[in-house]
Amino acid sequence: MILLGSTGSIGTNALKVATAFGLPIESLSAGKNIALFNEQIRRHRPKKICILDSEDLPKLDMPFIKAHDIEVFCTESGLLEMIESSQSTLAINALVGYAGLAPSLKIKQCGKKLALANKESLVSAGWLFAGYPITPIDSEHFGLWYLHTSRKIHKLYITASGGALRDMPLADLPSATPAQALKHPNWSMGQKITIDSATMVNKLFEVLEAYWLFGLSSIDAFIEEHSAIHALVEFVDGSITAHISHADMQLPIAYALDEQQAKCVRLIPRFDIATLTSLRFSPIDVRRYPVWELKPTLLAYPKLGIVLNASNEVALRAFLDSHICFGDISACILQSMRHFESVKTHTLTHLQDIKRLDSEVRAFSASWLGLS
Ligand code: NDP
Ligand code: MG
């Protein structure tokens, strides 16, 4: 298989599952963590590898790479070449952010199976994947897929943990620090999605992800603090089913890699049914999560996902670099969504259109935050 983003949280879990299932790795890609990447190369012996920056090439374990005749690619264009030249029919996109979009489109263009953790691909350009089968690697969407039957669906529900700042007094929220926002209560994940959980941007992303994956706009979310229930499906007949499991991404990854094996083994701890007695559900409060007010607009005009994603990426980076406060992330997103309201009527049929708009939104957001 091809695994993009092997050094990340999803990437390392995907390698564990691949090892447990005995699946060979043809191609691997990493960003900047070359020390871990060298270990992965030695352990999994891929035929092709790609890193983000050519300046990091000297850090690669070249004696091993040469001895095993491993082909080396570099930069975003190299990543696309690696995908195209790989024989594997399964590709896992575990890259983070907008950088994952072009690789997802390349995987689609090559007709390979797309196992998608990179939800930003769908948020920014879901319509470019219309009709193409995608296997989601996201606990809520895996849950929805698991619950899907031929019965007519009335509504989809996904849950949110509430993120690291769920219990912080409202008055302290605007000035929360990166260290506080990075302490997720239930999941161990990459930095970006952990901050996206604290702002509730992640749940807006997941609403759009569900919209593009399942073709329904009747979607809602609520807070379930234990991350035990991941998704619910309400059927037209009045029944509701829920997907419950231990909070561990190896389960959705296992199904994406090899459904037949995933059905027959236990990779994650057994769920303690007694936990269900302590579950609480609460609505998502827009005073704590101001971006949540955007949900109906995004479902009515899903192409606004480009604006949401680009403004979020600019603000989130600035927050992690301590240039802005936590509260500025949501303020920047809301301001950008107002400024780019006309996108509602744009057609945006090509990747070039999306790239242009993405750059415009980034420039606007950076300027509004006083970064440029
Ligand atoms: P991480 O930040 O842990 O990992 C991201 C991976 O992408 C790393 O291998 C990183 O390389 C690489 N990378 C980052 N930027 C670039 C770039 N510009 N070009 C090429 N490679 C790059 O993220 P996660 O694993 O947490 O998340 C990955 C995706 O999965 C996200 O879209 C996230 O929303 C989604 N997801 C994650 C979940 C989780 O539990 N973590 C759950 C559900 C969805 P390096 O580290 O070497 O720099
Ligand atoms: Mg999720």
Q: 187 CB under 6 A from ligand 1? A: yes
Helix axes 351-368, 305-320, angle to 10 degrees: 40
Q: 82 CB under 6 A from ligand 1? A: no
The arrangement of strands across the sheet holding 2-4 comes to 71-74, 48-51, 27-29, 2-4, 90-93, 113-116, 134-136
Using left for φ > 0, alpha for ψ between -120 and 50, and beta otherwise, residue 121 falls in alpha
Tokens representing residue 325 in the block: 């406060």
Q: 120 CB under 6 A from ligand 1? A: yes
CA 330-117-219 angle, to 5 degrees, is 60
Tokens representing residue 305 in the block: 């996902």
Ligand 1 atom closest to 191 (CA):
2
Q: Decide if 313 contacts 370 (C-beta within 8 A).
A: no
At 139, give phi and psi (nearest 5°): -60, -40
Q: What is the C-alpha separation between 351 and 128, in angstroms, rounded?
A: 8
Ligand 1 atom closest to 10 (CA):
25
Select from 3, 6, 9, 195 the residue to mutate for testing ligand 1; criterion: most ligand atoms less than 8 Å from CB: 9
Q: What is the C-alpha separation between 339 and 361, in angstroms, rounded?
A: 9
Domains of the chain plus CATH, in order, are 2-136 (3.40.50.720), 147-297 (no CATH), 301-372 (1.10.1740.10)
pLDDT recorded at residue 372: 81
Tokens representing residue 205 in the block: 């992303």
Q: Decide if 2 contacts 90 (C-beta within 8 A).
A: yes
Tokens representing residue 176 in the block: 């929360």
Q: What is the C-alpha separation between 186 and 360, in angstroms, rounded?
A: 36
Residue listed under structure tokens 């009709």: 131
Q: 10 CB under 6 A from ligand 1? A: yes
Q: Decide if 228 contacts 271 (C-beta within 8 A).
A: yes
Nearest CA to ligand 1 atom 21: 31
Residues 6+ apart with CB under 8 A from 352: none
Q: How far is CA 5 from the centre of its chain?
A: 12
Nearest CA to ligand 1 atom 9: 5
Q: How far is CA 220 from the centre of its chain?
A: 18
pLDDT recorded at residue 342: 95
pLDDT recorded at residue 219: 98
- Which pLDDT tens digit goes with each residue over 42-57? 999 999 999 999 999 9
Tokens representing residue 5 in the block: 């983003």
pLDDT recorded at residue 184: 83
**First CA to last CA distance, the chain:** 41
Helix (H, G, I), strand (E, B) or coil at 81: helix
Closest CA to 106 of 38, 29, 33, 37: 29
Residue type, 370: G
Q: 197 CB under 6 A from ligand 1? A: no
Residue type, 252: P
CA of 70 to the centre of ligand 2 (A): 34
Weakly modelled stretches of the chain, pLDDT under 70: none
Which residues, listed in sequence order, are joined to residue 222 by a DSSP beta bridge? 159
Tokens representing residue 56 in the block: 């990091």
pLDDT recorded at residue 187: 80
Burial of 241 (0-12, 13-18, 19+ CB in 10 A): middle
Ligand (nearest to CA of 13): 1
Q: Decide if 130 contacts 211 (C-beta within 8 A).
A: no
At 203, give phi and psi (nearest 5°): -75, -35
Which whole-number Å values give the CA distances from 214 to 144, 207, 241, 328, 354, in the listed order?
9, 10, 16, 32, 22
pLDDT recorded at residue 255: 98
Residue listed under structure tokens 């506080």: 180
Which whole-number Å values give the CA distances from 146 to 234, 269, 338, in the listed order?
14, 18, 37
Which residues, listed in sequence order, are joined to residue 2 by a DSSP beta bridge? 27, 91
pLDDT recorded at residue 345: 87
Residues 6+ apart with CB under 8 A from 314: 332, 361, 362, 365, 366, 369, 371
